[in-house]
Amino acid sequence: MVENIQRVAQEIEAAQLTGAAELEQFRIAYIGRKGAIAALFDDLKSVAPEQRRQVGQELNQLKNRAQARFDEAQEQLANTSAGAEAENAFDFTLPPIPNTLGTRHPLSLVRAEIVRIFERIGFNVADGPEIEDDWHNFTALNFPENHPAREMQDTFFLSEDRDKLLRTHTSNVQVRLMENNQPPLRSIMPGRVYRNEAISARAHMVFQQVEGLYVNKGVSFKDLKETLYYFAKEMFGQDTKIRFRPSFFPFTEPSAEIDISCLICKGEGCNICKQSGWVEIGGAGMVDPNVLDNCNIDSTVYSGFAFGMGIERITMLRYQIKDLRLFTENDVRFLRQFKGVI
């Protein structure tokens, strides 16, 4: 008898009561009128009279333990079900939310189009870190320490020694590309850049940029001009005109600003182009020999050109957007306008 009580006690403790079906089986097997505990009480009459009191007490303890296990599992199952119902509850008085598909961001659309245009003429895509050191962002690009040109690209420094900073252009990728590879090199470098500027309709402290680099023997300014002529016509239309204005950049010599004919007035003059008929889209020039030498490329053998453009500026021109801040405000009314754009 004692062995049977111990066996049933072990079964009760080992029972897995994780669902309603298992709980019901437990009730029938141990607590019900035809269960194992009821059968043990029926067998109590066969126990010797002097042991019947002790065995009866053990049976009562076994019955109480079985009932306690059943009650605990039942309460836990009820709480779990109530929590699931509350989690899945739906307020049918609320207006329906339609299942709508989103759209790609206009900057992503234009970036992808820029990549496609340059890939067709042999450029691949290179990438690099947004957190950069002084050498790759400034010094290797002919920006020596305390050079006044650094004031044009004030940025955000991440350490007191001012050696870690958020890159101000994707030219750092050009440096890393030239340090780790030998010519010929032909790549574009799209990515996010940062500058410490006041946010307005025409400027932001974070924006997208795409730069290009071509280094080989015999590369000339004519190659640069023809490359950018091709890009402008593919991006803005075959009627687009392009011009180069002399300028200064520490990392190119000679250097030029890149203008295209205004897409609004077709070069006639309007408030968008300030009556000039031209809109600036970026800068370009021949890679300075010092930059090539800094990157372990022999400037007496190789030459190259580089260019850089703001993707926001190109997007604003292409889609006639007049406020740069719209790109980062996440206003769905603005973004939905590009749903049909591929």
CA distances from 139 to 63, 87, 92, 145, 176 (A): 84, 57, 63, 7, 13
CATH fit for domain 106-338, picks 3.30.930.10, 3.40.50.9100, 3.60.150.10, 3.30.70.1170: 3.30.930.10
Q: Where in the chain is the domain with CATH 3.30.930.10?
A: 106-338
- For residue range 95-122, list pLDDT tens digits in order: 877 777 778 899 999 999 999 999 999 9
- DSSP character at residue 204: -
Please report which residue ranges of 120-274 form alpha helices under DSSP H.
Answer: 134-137, 171-180, 221-236
Which residues are known binding-site members for Mg(2+)?
253
- Rounded Cα gap, residues 86 and 270, in angstroms: 61
What does the block give as tokens for 179? 């340090």
Could you tell me the pTM of the whole model? 0.68
Torsional sign, CA 101, 106, 107, 109: positive
- For residue range 216-264, list pLDDT tens digits in order: 999 999 999 999 999 999 999 898 889 999 999 889 999 999 999 888 7
Across 195-218, average pLDDT? 90
Which residues are known binding-site members?
253
- Rounded Cα gap, residues 156 and 160, in angstroms: 11
